[in-house]
């Protein structure tokens, strides 16, 4: 039988051939917009606590041409920028900045706090092992034990109070799987991904983790893999692959489905909006994004799914301020 590794070159070729937009029926949801982000950004990270969505780090343009900015002490202009969106008021506010300007950080909301892991100091390179926790009540960041390996583009999810760090990149894509315990401030090793990748989605659902798509080293080798981790047996298994090969996707659990939205490839970005139903091991196509986006995340607030900012072009040359909102009737 042909191994998944032998499909790598074919997967990269198919990624180039995948349509930027997928057709969908009118009943498959609709997109609107909400209050624009105060600053354009991409390669940021997104997480929610209650009805508040937080966007942290990433690329923020400066002057006439966009560039990656290091921490400069100005929270409103550099890669340490953290902003919060309140769905009830449709307003943004600026929070205490990340301790260091970074892009491709891993972040998750857990037990009323934000937890960040890793990231890059330069554009998609120079990984760090930094880890921090943010308390919204005090608007302060506190350092945590560093990640065991310097990595950027780590995929992070909370599973029953344990925070799983999966995949990522140093010089190449990796399959590392670390589990952080907020109570002890320590990491443990768990079964690695079957095939290491970065720019990947990670979602917890019904006691398991779902690792969605991502790339192997670059977007010429996008994948459609979906791997499921069962903590009871410390093992990964494969389920139905995503219909399109994408990396830099925004993922979120919405209406008991795992939505994978947008992404990038050489020559463009995706508007694809596809959702996986773990109960039926099947994918469905929903209303595509109005414009292609990559390099951001998604969060569910109330009964809608929010996708803030992101890059309309592949790579880091352009950022956006658009806040797209998806809703299923």
For 87-111, what is each residue's pLDDT tens digit?
999 999 999 999 999 999 999 999 9
Paired strand residues for 39: none
Cα distance between residue 199 and residue 211, in whole Å? 11
Report the C-alpha gap between 52 and 101 in whole angstroms: 22
Question: What tokens does 66 get?
Answer: 């966009």
Mean pLDDT of 298-309: 98
Q: Taking the CA atoms of the chain, what radius of gyration do you get in angstroms?
A: 18
Q: Is the pLDDT of residue 308 over 70?
A: yes
Residue-level pLDDT at 124: 85
Q: What is the pLDDT of residues 111-158, one digit of tens each?
A: 999 999 999 998 888 999 999 999 999 999 999 999 999 999 999 999
Range of the domain at 313: 5-327
Whether the predicted pLDDT of 77 surpasses 60: no
The CATH number for 173's domain is 2.120.10.80
Burial of 23 (0-12, 13-18, 19+ CB in 10 A): exposed
Please state the three-class secondary structure of the chain as a single string. CCCCHHHHHHHHHHHHHCCCCCCCCCCCCEEEEECCCCCCEECCEEEEECCEEEEECCECCECCECCCCCCCCCCCCCCCCEEEEECCCCEEEECCCCCCCCECCEEEEECCEEEEECCEEECCEEECCCEEEEECCCCEEEECCCCCCCCECCEEEEECCEEEEECCECCCECCCEEEEECCCCEEEECCCCCCCCECCEEEEECCEEEEECCEECEEEEEECCEEEEECCCCEEEECCCCCCCEECCEEEEECCEEEEECCEECCEECCCEEEEECCCCEEEECCCCCCCCECCCCEEECCEEEEECCECCCCCCCCECCEEEEECC
What's the confidence (pLDDT) of residue 78?
Answer: 56
Distance between CA atoms of 182 and 115, rounded to whole angstroms? 9
Q: Is 150 exposed, middle or buried (0-12, 13-18, 19+ CB in 10 A)?
A: middle
pLDDT for the residue numbered 187: 98
Would you state the pLDDT for residue 310?
97
Q: Report the number of distinct structural domains present in the chain.
A: 1
Q: What is the mean pLDDT of residues 23-34?
A: 75
Q: How many CA atoms lie within 13 A of 85 on its CB side?
A: 30
**Which neighbouring-strand residues pair with 155?**
166
Query: Could you give the CA distance from residue 215 to residue 66 in angstroms, rounded to a whole number?
Result: 24
State the pLDDT at residue 61.
66
What is the pTM assigned to this prediction?
0.89
Q: So what's the pLDDT on residue 317?
A: 86
What is the pLDDT averaged over residues 271-300?
A: 97
Judge whether residue 14 has pLDDT over 70.
no
Q: In angstroms, rounded to a whole number, what is the distance separating the alpha carbons of residues 141 and 311? A: 27
- Of 14-18, 113-117, 161-165, 202-206, where does mean pLDDT reach its minimum? 14-18
How many whole angstroms separate alpha carbon 139 and alpha carbon 24? Answer: 42
CA-CA distance, 123 to 169, in Å (whole number)? 13
The two tokens of residue 70 are: 């290091």
Q: Could you tell me the CA-to-CA distances from 13 to 146, 211, 294 in Å, in that order?
A: 37, 21, 19
Model confidence band, residue 72 (pLDDT cutoffs 50, 70, 90):
very low
Cβ atoms of residues 163 and 133 within 8 Å: no
């Amino acid at each position: 039988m042909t191994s998944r590794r032998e499909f790598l070159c074919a997967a990269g070729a198919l990624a180039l051939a995948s349509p930027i937009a997928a057709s969908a029926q009118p009943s498959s949801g609709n997109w609107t917009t909400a209050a624009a982000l105060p600053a354009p950004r991409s390669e940021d990270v997104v997480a929610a606590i209650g009805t508040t969505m937080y966007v942290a780090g990433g690329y923020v343009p400066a002057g006439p041409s966009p560039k990656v900015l290091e921490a400069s002490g100005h929270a409103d202009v550099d890669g340490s920028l953290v902003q919060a969106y309140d769905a009830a008021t449709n307003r943004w506010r600026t929070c205490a900045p990340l301790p260091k300007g970074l892009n491709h950080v891993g972040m998750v909301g857990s037990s009323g706090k934000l937890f960040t892991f890793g990231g890059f100091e330069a554009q998609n390179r120079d990984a760090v092992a930094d880890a921090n926790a943010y308390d919204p009540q005090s608007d302060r960041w506190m350092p945590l034990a560093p990640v065991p390996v310097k990595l950027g583009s780590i995929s992070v999810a909370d599973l029953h109070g344990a925070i799983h760090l999966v995949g990522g990149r140093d010089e190449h894509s990796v399959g590392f799987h670390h589990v952080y315990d907020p109570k002890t401030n320590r990491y443990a090793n768990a079964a690695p991904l079957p095939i290491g990748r970065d720019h990947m989605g990670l979602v917890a659902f019904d006691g398991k983790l779902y690792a969605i798509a991502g790339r192997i080293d670059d977007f010429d080798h996008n994948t459609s893999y979906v791997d499921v981790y069962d903590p009871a047996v410390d093992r990964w298994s494969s389920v139905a692959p995503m219909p399109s090969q994408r990396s830099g996707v925004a993922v979120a659990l919405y209406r008991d489905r795992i939505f994978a939205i947008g992404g990038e490839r050489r020559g463009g970005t995706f508007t694809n909006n596809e959702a996986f139903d773990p109960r039926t091991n099947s994918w469905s196509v929903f209303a595509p994004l109005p414009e292609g986006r990559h390099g951001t995340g998604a969060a569910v607030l109330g009964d809608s799914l929010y996708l803030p900012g992101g890059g309309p072009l592949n790579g880091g040359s352009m950022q956006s301020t658009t806040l797209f909102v998806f809703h299923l009737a």
